[in-house]
Amino acid sequence: MDRLTIIKVGGKVVEEPESLKALLDQFCRISGNKILVHGGGRAATNIANRLGIQTQMVNGRRITDEAMLEVVTMVYGGLVNKKIVANLQARGCNAIGLTGADLDLIRAVKRPVDEIDFGFVGDVEDVNARDLRVLIEENAVPVIAPLTHDGQGNLLNTNADTIASEIAIELSNYYSVYLFYCFEKKGVLMDPKDENSILYDLDPALFQKYQQDGIISEGMIPKLETGFRAKRNGAKEVLITNSDNISSGRGTRLVFNK
């Protein structure tokens, strides 16, 4: 099968011009089929603060009330997405910016209320692999914002790590999928203060242990949960790294020890 590289980018990489430039330079050097999935949570938080809208997070996931949904739609689907697309076009990369609502790419269901009411947050139900493949085969590069829809006219805020994982799973039926989660660190760190304390291989048992010990916490939890899900369900490789190491393949590789 042909190779497909899926890059999910978030954190400071999206918000800081120099780090975004470095990431997009590396992304454009990737040969063959590719997709970019982006976050933008810090930008959304900053805009929300300027508008007097409070941000609430639980275990690295944003609670999205009606006001926050308007903010993330503007920021993710507009400001961040189109800035990335414009910068890719400037590099000769024929990108197309999309949300899950466009082409009915990603349908989701509003997360049911359990112990926490996450509001207008979506859990992915279906990925439209057919139309994604049409775009890819036409040499377009999808740039996907973390917004989905429910088929009833409602947009839903959906974790970008989840979107990247679900796309990887669905497209692994047609491509050899390599999924990279890119952020500002070189990988999952044993010590957040030591940039070189990288866990080069991480299996589910170690993930659980380090989560219990508080070594892995907050936004890294959904990243790893969705990464292991992708690896378990068809992705050939899943790597947590920064933009500098996309080509070298260095970082934290998710594995299943036999």
Distance CA 94, CA 112 (A): 38
Q: What is the pLDDT of residues 118-159, one digit of tens each?
A: 999 999 999 999 999 999 999 999 999 999 999 999 999 999
Output phi, psi for 255, to 5 deg. Answer: -135, 160
Q: Would you state the pLDDT for residue 58? A: 80
If one counts the domains in the chain, the total is 1
Q: Would you state the pLDDT for residue 258? A: 54
pTM of the model: 0.94
Residue 94 belongs to domain spanning: 3-254
Alpha helices by DSSP H, listed for 91-219, are 129-137, 160-171, 204-212
Give the CATH number, domain containing residue 179.
3.40.1160.10
